[in-house]
Structure 1
């Protein structure tokens, strides 16, 4: 018999479980960051100095002031082992050191070391002052100088000439540069899975790649883009799974809109539809709604769909009508079931036949 007390206890337990699950999900979303703004400042050049050689019995030694060292550059480097901009959450200013000042006895100041900023592959860098893209980091270990450090100033030794044997002139180092930039991460992948929440995208990517995507029977299980590697006979393929889209995603609704930019770099898209929808009419509605969302965000995205996966064939009640579903000309359609692994081997073979 269920008493009021036991019922209330059950409610409390469910509330605790929900709160705990929400906290875990919130933490996962917080740990993924795909846009941030930072300030970068290159180092000042060191000053040259005016100095004269002083030795015993040589009252009028010549000029011996050294040059200043160069200020440090601000350098950005792509790193394939980083998949988010979360490291920038608590650090928003990157400053290079100044060059050392020149010294007597013709000693030049020390050049400052560069300050290196590591970003994930797929990071676009924009100058916020004029909204201009200044770099696109797509290669591992490739470095780009964003700001040059100031040049070191000249010591008075430099200005010695046949007509000026004892110059006092020297120059201060050049100032470094300042810039406020935006880092915008767009995940790089060969293929991306697109579909509505709970159609099985995470299950698919977990089955065919090495990705450990979270799987659950509720909407928005996927909170951040997942990247998996499909091992092919000829080459490997990077496959991305983004949070599910909903009607109105292109207008900012749901979680999917925030991540639509991550499929823009994909060479091809794989559309995932749910066969447990109840009828061929509902299946067609799924497809049309999804294509409208993709087109509203970027008119070129629907043209990237080269493969349609009809998932949950084990729950389909209209299998005899599936052959008439041909929404995109020359687009391969495969019916699969992640529950019983039906069609997954055919899927892997089809992906390898795509000219990626």
Structure 2
């Protein structure tokens, strides 16, 4: 099964909790705090594995959670950091944040790594909170939560050559005639529903060729197989445009040529600049010669090779021409080219975002904000001293005063994240 787009959930490991402990050696009176820090949570790391060619494994496992760090221990011993969770993906995988649409990573080379969800840092043990005013604190932190997000994986096959053209022009037949690939071949449109890869071996030279599903008008807007097809064209170094020169289905070869190129251009302007060879297929049929003459008159300056994929007429000449042209092109896969802009520093006078917001949920006051929610999750609510420290930090951030302005009174319920508290004057 070929799968080229999936949505999965990833979560970095939580940090380990800090410990509250004290020295208890026989001859060390008032030894002081000795609670160690928690260990760091593991990251979720994607690594390119050139042995993979599809995202099918992600159809059966869609949740990836890295392990959490160890908790701190007594005698000042810190918890061990967790190992990263390594997830292997095929070359050509683009990782996109499903909520924001931001491209997190574009993974194309074997062994390339990218951290997709970072693990949280370990919480501090009470050894970190000792001060002259409080030399024996009963304060520790919980581990920082690991980053979690839904991501979308999109696979764009990396091939040297991509076969493009309308349905039923003979792309699959051409691939089968020059490689060991066995694509489905039949006398109806959209026989090929997923890309097929094959290696063309010319002795001392070889290259990878992809048979891509047929295009139709409006493909750049997702019509037909649309984006499922066009996504894979972006990675090819060379386009071989297969045209049914015999016009078996009654279409005009000239119009077919222009329409396919319009779709490529509308999807991505860079594809208009991609080197292209025209393979005039089905030249063994009687109508093909006249159509070819007309095509060359109306589309001058285009390199055309006469072939018959069914009889293999002219196929070897086409493959050698493709190999010759590939030798003049860059070796690495054709990833979306990004213009190298000059580095410049831009200063903007932007107002800093508010550290928290207050809203109402019926009778409950809801305090929300990334900083304040992380603070409450890292507070050890089972420790009186930790709760007092949390209350002081809330006051210093202005949360208490803001609640009063919103009408909070003694005894009202306040929710922060998953926790609810009672407002006390």
Q: Same fold, TM exceeding 0.5?
A: yes
Residue aligning to 2:54: 84
Cα distance in 2 between the residues matched to 1:45 and 1:36: 29
SS at match of 2:223: coil
Cα distance in 2 between the residues matched to 1:249 and 1:65: 62
- What is the CA deviation profile of residues 253-311 of structure 1, one whole-angstrom value per residue up to 9, with x for unaligned ones? 33355322211222221110113326998322332332333334334434435210011
Contact 1:249 1:256 in 2 (8 A): yes
In 2 relative to 1, CA 291–307 (structure 1 residues): closer, same or farther, beyond 3 Å? same
- What is the CA deviation profile of residues 146-198 of structure 1, one whole-angstrom value per residue up to 9, with x for unaligned ones? 22211112223345689976554443322211222221222222221011112
**RMSD across aligned C-alpha pairs, in angstroms?**
2.8
Structure 2 regions of 5+ residues with no counterpart?
330-425
Residue aligning to 1:68: 38
Question: Which residue of 299, 316, 334 maps to 2:305?
Answer: 334
In 2 relative to 1, CA 277–166 (structure 1 residues): closer, same or farther, beyond 3 Å? same
Residue aligning to 1:350: 321
Residue aligning to 2:192: 222
TM-score normalised according to structure 1 size: 0.81
Deviation at 1:136, TM superposition (A): 0.5
- 41-50 vs 149-158, which moves further: 149-158
Cα distance in 2 between the residues matched to 1:267 and 1:342: 25
- What is the CA deviation profile of residues 100-150 of structure 1, one whole-angstrom value per residue up to 9, with x for unaligned ones? 111112322121121222222111112233221121011112111122211
Contact 1:98 1:112 in 2 (8 A): yes
- What is the CA deviation profile of residues 309-348 of structure 1, one whole-angstrom value per residue up to 9, with x for unaligned ones? 0112112334256345335554321111122221111012
Is 1:271 matched with 2:241? yes
1:164-313 paired onto structure 2 within 5 Å = 166=136, 168-232=138-202, 235-277=205-247, 282-313=252-283
SS at match of 2:188: coil
Contact 1:275 1:316 in 2 (8 A): no
Contact 2:6 2:153 in 1 (8 A): yes
Structure 1 regions of 5+ residues with no counterpart?
1-30
- What is the CA deviation profile of residues 181-222 of structure 1, one whole-angstrom value per residue up to 9, with x for unaligned ones? 221222222221011112111111122233222222322221
Deviation at 1:251, TM superposition (A): 4.1
Cα distance in 2 between the residues matched to 1:164 and 1:174: 24
Residue aligning to 1:38: 8
Cα distance in 1 between the residues matched to 2:184 and 2:169: 13
Cα distance in 2 between the residues matched to 1:303 and 1:59: 79
Contact 2:246 2:288 in 1 (8 A): no
- 51-60 vs 68-77, which moves further: 51-60
Contact 1:187 1:262 in 2 (8 A): yes
SS at match of 2:246: helix
Is 1:108 matched with 2:64? no
How many residue pairs match? The answer is 326
In 2 relative to 1, CA 322–224 (structure 1 residues): closer, same or farther, beyond 3 Å? same
Cα distance in 1 between the residues matched to 2:309 and 2:277: 17
